[in-house]
Amino acid sequence: MDIETFVRGLPKTDLHMHLEGSIEPELMIALAGRNSIPLRWDTADALRQAYQFDNLQSFLELYFEGCRVLVTQADFYDVTWAYLNRAHADGVVHAEMFIGPQSFTERDVPIEALLNGVLKAISDAQSAYGISAGLLISVHRHRSEAEAIAVLDQIEPWQNHVVGIGMGGAERGNPPSRFANFYQMARERGLRTCVHAGEEGPAAYVREAIEVLAVDRIDHGNACLDDPDLVVDLADRGIPLTVCPLSNLRLNVVTDMKWHPLRAMIDAGLNVTVNSDDPPYFGGYVTENLLACHEALDLSIEDIILLVRNGINAAFIAPGERSRLLAKLTNYAGAAVR
């Protein structure tokens, strides 16, 4: 079995991806037409050519423009279904998907349309493919903590269908500690927690995330390597880091995949996972991310299996489901390498 076939067939997780960032160009053009939303691009190819970014902020400008095409419950259903259909084809057995309601409710899109559309697609994909998925509600760090807390209240009627909360957006000037009360309230409501930290922000933001916010997972976390004591702490606690290598490359967090810190993170004993982030924008789903790291960082088959196992262990799922997925991984890997 060649490496691409092996990696694509691995029963994988995708724990760090944004539904708003999973809209393939063809679907974005179609949704814009359906909702009479003007875009700067007339065709999918023209839109795809715009996926050239200098940094996180330049990406976010296009990302938020793309959010405008999601208006109705059917739109949120379609984008969620499209991602889960593609993820299933990619061998993903469990996905955890961010969506940020603030991008939509500020335009008077009803929260009911967003959540009901996403949750119906999750249910239908489970029935059709057996793929499981968890919904993560994300807030924007450039907004106020009071606005973040308002989101918690908005989603309360659906709280039993939400597995956790997170926070994304431009890091610089927006330290995690600004949202300490928000994260405490989320934990009190029984929600699992994660936060984007250490992508473009410093190692100090990763430390704030674990010491002030007490999150269950760190999204990205690359900058932790700048603080050796923090690396030891993260390794000792086993806190998962949801790394997105192709995202880091396309946003110039690293200038070449051969310089990506994933290899160093593995060697340091960190509980690191590989994920897709915003796959159409960054040129790959989970399989492409793993293959790019395999080629650039000389990852072995054992390294790749470790990364996938870490993903299953880091997922916000019940112990029985975790055991089932780990057994599936063991059986697949054993049969493939014999």
Tell me which residues are annotated as active site. 199
Closest CA to 145 of 170, 100, 182: 182
Residues 6+ apart with CB under 8 A from 232: none
| Spatial separation of the C-alpha atoms in residues 338 and 334, rounded to whole Å | 6
DSSP state at residue 193: E
CA 326, CA 225: separation in Å to the nearest integer? Answer: 29
Three-state DSSP state, 132 = strand
Rounded to an integer, what distance in angstroms lies between the CA atom of residue 279 and that of residue 83?
9
Separation between Cα atoms, residue 119 and residue 135, nearest integer Å? 8
Calculate helix-pair angle for 111-129, 73-89, nearest 10 degrees.
30
What are the two backbone dihedrals, phi and then psi, of residue 79, each rounded to the nearest 5 degrees? -70, -35
Question: What's the distance, Cα to Cα, between the start and end of the chain in Å?
Answer: 10
State the Cα–Cα distance between residues 57 and 321, nearest whole angstrom.
37
**Residue 175 contacts residue 209 (beta carbons within 8 Å):** no
Q: Which two tokens stand for residue 41?
A: 């691009």
Which of 323, 305, 335 has the alpha carbon at shortest distance from 11?
A: 305
